[in-house]
Structure 1
Amino acid sequence: MPSFDIVSELDLHEVNNAVDQANRELGTRYDFNKVDATFELAGEVITLQAEVDFQLQQMMDILRNKLVGRKIDTKSLEIGEAQTVHMRARQIVTLKQGLDQPFSKKVVKMIKDAKLKVQSQVQGEQVRVTGKKRDDLQQVMALLREADLELPLQYTNFRD
């Protein structure tokens, strides 16, 4: 019986490369000349530090461009508020990956509401979809691609 898994994962190696590229661009940009501004990646948290919050907005644009260039969806970013403390501006960006329980239930409900001949079930941080025909599974993929969801989805472990 054909099946596949719906997941939301990030390639952290590509994220690391994007952050490194963004740091290099800060060093070469004229508007950041002689400015103490950095991007730091620690686990699944990117910290932006600059002298004023206007620079944080520019840095956020640089980071988005580098992530898109590395084929990482910017929907997976959870952007925190900019904080200014002791003449330093700081902003925390959290990377979201994995499907939490409410989001998984929302995906399962969307699939059931479409009345396709498939079964879907939540398995930890992923949703397994099974059906009798491969075409039914491809319809589910098309349905989820068209839906405007707050997380980027990948389809893995496709078995025939």
Structure 2
Amino acid sequence: MADTFSFDVVSDFDRQELINALDQAKREIQTRYDLKDTKTTLELGDQAIVINTDSEFTLQAVHTILQTKAAKRNLSMKIFDYGKVETASGNRVRQEIALKKGISQEIGKQITKIVRDEFKKVQASIQGDAVRVSAKSKDDLQAVIQRIKQEDFPVALQFTNYR
């Protein structure tokens, strides 16, 4: 039996689910009557999604479609970081949606502070873009998970490597 148990707090998303959600959104945009002739494009890059469409009105409709498709695939809305709307050539609008991945140092410090202040038998350490939480009792770790879930962080958090 192990002396200590641990888990990692990470901020990540399933890229394949995001690709599937984008494919479904593209299909719906092509078949919807009000969006069919807008020549809307959704392009997925390494760090962002680029939307190019007719107007801000159709851009809002595309946002709604993308959010519903992502929600159906269990993707958090917190992974989307909407950039400002820019004008593109031909009276079109363009928007870049950055994809948030990883825990920043600031959020990592907030998580470790919560663990340090409220759980005396639990240790937390920042390891790159993740936070490792360890303790001698699995019950303490479960309590930490429940406490972290209560906070509303600006990124989507997952708990991995629970052992």
Which category of TM-score, normalised to the shorter sequence, fits these structures?
A: over 0.9
Q: Which amino acid aligns with 1:40?
A: E
Q: Which residue of 2 aligns with 1:144?
A: 148
Q: Which residue of 1 aligns with 2:73?
A: 70
- Do 1:3 and 1:158's aligned partners in 2 also have CA atoms closer than 8 Å? yes
* Deviation (angstroms), 1:7: 0.6
* Deviation (angstroms), 1:43: 1.2
Q: Which amino acid aligns with 1:42?
A: G
Which of 4, 9, 13 is matched with 2:12 structurally?
Answer: 9
Q: Which amino acid aligns with 1:3?
A: S
Runs of 5+ unmatched residues, structure 1: none
- Relative to the length of structure 1, the TM-score reads 0.96
Which of 35, 42, 45 is matched with 2:48 structurally?
Answer: 45
Is 1:79 the equivalent of 2:82? yes
Q: Distance in 1 between matches of 2:12 and 2:86?
A: 29
Q: Helix, strand or coil for the counterpart of 1:149? A: coil
1:19-72 per-residue CA deviation (whole Å, 9 max, x = no partner) reads 111000001101112211111101121011101111111101111011101100
Q: Distance in 2 between matches of 1:7 and 1:116?
A: 22
Q: Which residue of 2 aligns with 1:91?
A: 95
* Deviation (angstroms), 1:116: 4.0
Q: Helix, strand or coil for the counterpart of 1:127? A: strand
* Deviation (angstroms), 1:99: 0.9
Q: Where in structure 1 do 4 or more consecutive aligned residues deviate above 2 Å?
A: none
Which of 13, 21, 28 is matched with 2:31 structurally?
Answer: 28
- Relative to the length of structure 2, the TM-score reads 0.94
Percent identity over paired residues: 39
Runs of 5+ unmatched residues, structure 2: none
Q: Indicate the RMSD between aligned Cα atoms, in angstroms.
A: 1.0
